[in-house]
Homo-oligomer: A and B are copies of this chain.
Amino acid sequence: MMYVYKTMEEIANFIYFASKYLKEHQVEEFINLLVSTYNNKWSKVLVMGAGRSGLVARAFAMRLMHLGYNAYVLGDTIVPSVKKGDVVIAISGSGTTKLVVAAAETAKHVGAKLVALTSYPNSPLGQLADVIVEIPGRTKVSVSQDYFSRQILGIHEPLAPLGTLFEITTQAFLDSVVVELMHRLGKTEEDLKEAHANIEL
């Protein structure tokens, strides 16, 4: 079972080094946008992504709701109309996922602020976005020759297939943004528990 343990270590390392790799001004801009959105009680946040990135989006949307946001997920039954003043957060490693880009175009068209979490700031999604947070993922790392990839991956390809490293790193990043927001908004774990679903599947 060496692959189980080696991959868990790889994931842990990747998340650790990713925390160094994040661009501070991007993270700051993203969190400031979320804080100002919270303070406008009419604003909504719609989070979206396809496939496993969509699940990362959903996990973040749940926590935003626990924090008191009007948070929604593309693909849920309940999705309100998005307007100027709302924030749409799109997650796509490649930044090219067709339906996500199509939805992002509509978001821009109706005047929402668009955030992209992606490995590729120059992708179609990245180019539409008002705020970008670059999150490293497998592809990016494996083709690059920089210090970051050598640190984590040495000369080997990563073990985790496809978008795994992007997805779990984005998950770790967003879970960490939640902690930052707790402090900035003065929310305790009790507050989150109070807002947590008590009937759920």
Give A contacts to B, CB under 8 Å: 1, 3-9, 11-13, 15-16, 18-19, 22, 24, 27-28, 31, 46, 48, 50-52, 54-55, 58-59, 61-62, 65-66, 71-82, 88, 97-100, 102-103, 106-107, 110, 159-162, 164, 167-168, 171-173, 175-180, 182-183, 189, 192-201
Contacts and interface: CB of A to CB of B under 8 A. Distances in A.
B162 A51 contact: no
B183 A160 contact: no
Nearest to A193: B162
A59 B12 contact: no
A81 B194 contact: yes
A77 to B, nearest CB: 4
Contacts of A4: 19, 22, 27, 31, 173, 176-177, 179-180
